[in-house]
Structure 1
């Protein structure tokens, strides 16, 4: 069965998250994903709050930019969330937007090398291993978590380009594709990931109810994406979701626009679209 979720955009102030997360939980939404866009909401703090506000909702961090963080700090944060909230925690990491990384003096000369080193060390730490490594970006000397999670969480890796997609298949348990990715691009990404075992493929999909194509076209033109998004009745949205599932996506996370009511959007996804998705 395809997992169907929704995104809480960081363009909304943090204090609104409590009501949105609770509305999503009450409506039975599968997953709520949070973005850590600069310089808006913090991904870890927002996800911790959303998890604490709810009982069953799974919460994804999509994503934590690795140039921002020492890998030991990332591991400590993820392990803490995992011990408190179990498999409801869905941690995601990625390159981050390079212009934003440059703004804070953290842009890596080789983002791919940094992501490989960070993901490899993070997985080992979350599995309770002692890690010593002297890489180009990651240096650890006999580091081991005192409180590793009893069951390490799946690690989600954001990817877009061919090299990062291949890396995600090597170092992650799941890959996250950005909004504006078409079903054909999902299928191509699945081939590039080429993971040796089970591997979740998450895609963010702009989707709006009713006659909203003009709003999505404006969004597409602004961000120069190849795919406009989905709009229409719940049945039409569900058919669009099915096209992504057929292309290989295991999780389709629907994305509103900043002017949409986030609580109502989560309710619409959970109560009107979810029952129509296989």
Structure 2
């Protein structure tokens, strides 16, 4: 089944998020996604605010950079969110931007080794297991959550390169593809991950100046623009390529984000087949 969502960009002031989440809930939006970009809003606190300000909307965090956060702490945060908000929580982790990781003294020599160790330990912790491991990066000595989620949530993994895509297909529930990913690359990602769920961020704009606002972005794929019918038609290549969640990414200068959410949920969604 294809779902449709919207990104709340971290370039937006954090204090505007509760109103945006309320608008998403009122409009019946299926998914609201958040990013944790350095050095903007905190991902976990933002997800908690969005969940608390809405009902029914699933909220995704794509992604928490694994070099930046201890795996036990991330397990605690995810477990707490899931116990409070259930299956509306969609947690995602990933490499993070390596230049940013270097800025904070957390860049690993082997990102792939770290990610494998991290995801393996994180999923075990979320299952409620007692975890002892002595990896190159992840080291835990008899760690078990007192309040594990029940059930453990599906874990998403942010990925772009072929090695990470294969790792995501091996270990994760689904893969998050960054904004600017073309339908062709989406199809390749589906092949490399083995056909599991794919969420892809697609830049989108509507209203006056929509095409010009998209053109100002430096992305490999120009995104989609126009009225509801035009945008619905334009996202079909991603769906046909295997995307199970198409998350429309407004431009940073979107003048009316609540209005954009209502447009997506109320006008675009009915024009896109669910199956």
Give the TM bin, normalised by the shorter chain.
Answer: over 0.9
Task: Return the alpha-carbon distance in structure 2 between the equivalents of residues 10 and 226 of structure 1.
Answer: 20
Distance in 2 (CA, whole Å) between partners of 1:73 and 1:112 is: 20
Per mean C-alpha deviation after superposition, the further-off stretch among 206-215 and 164-173 is 206-215
1:171 to partner: Cα distance: 1.2
Cα distance, 1:55 vs structure 2: 1.3
Which residue in 2 is equivalent to 1:179?
179
Corresponding residue number in structure 2 for 1:218: 216
2:193 counterpart residue number: 193
Shift of 1:217: 2.1
Q: Please show how residues 153-168 of structure 1 align to structure 2 within 5 Å.
A: 153-168=153-168
Shift of 1:213: 2.2
Give the match for residue 237 of structure 2: 243
Q: Which consecutive unaligned segments of at least 5 residues does structure 2 have?
A: none
User: What's the TM-score once normalised by structure 1's chain length?
Assistant: 0.95
Question: What does residue range 117-156 of structure 1 map to in structure 2 within 5 Å?
Answer: 117-156=117-156
What secondary structure sits across from 1:59 in the alignment? strand
Instruction: Decide which of 189, 204, 215 is 1:207's aligned counterpart.
Output: 204
**1:14 aligns to 2:14 (yes or no):** yes
Listed one character per residue, the Cα deviations across residues 123-172 of structure 1 (whole Å, up to 9, x for unaligned) are 11101111111001000011111110111111000000000000011111
Q: Which residue of 2 aligns with 1:276?
A: 271
CA distance in 1, matches of 2:54, 2:129: 31
The Cα shift of 1:226 comes to 2.2
Q: CA offset at residue 258 of structure 1?
A: 1.2
SS of corresponding position for 2:216: helix
Residue ranges of structure 1 left out of the alignment (5+ in a row) = none
Which residue is 2:249 aligned to? 255
Between the aligned partners of 2:251 and 2:211, the Cα distance in structure 1 is 12
The CA RMSD measured in Å over matched residues stands at 1.0
Separation (CA, whole Å) in 1 of partners of 2:216 and 2:50:
30
How far is 1:240 from its partner? 1.9
The alignment covers a number of residue pairs equal to 271
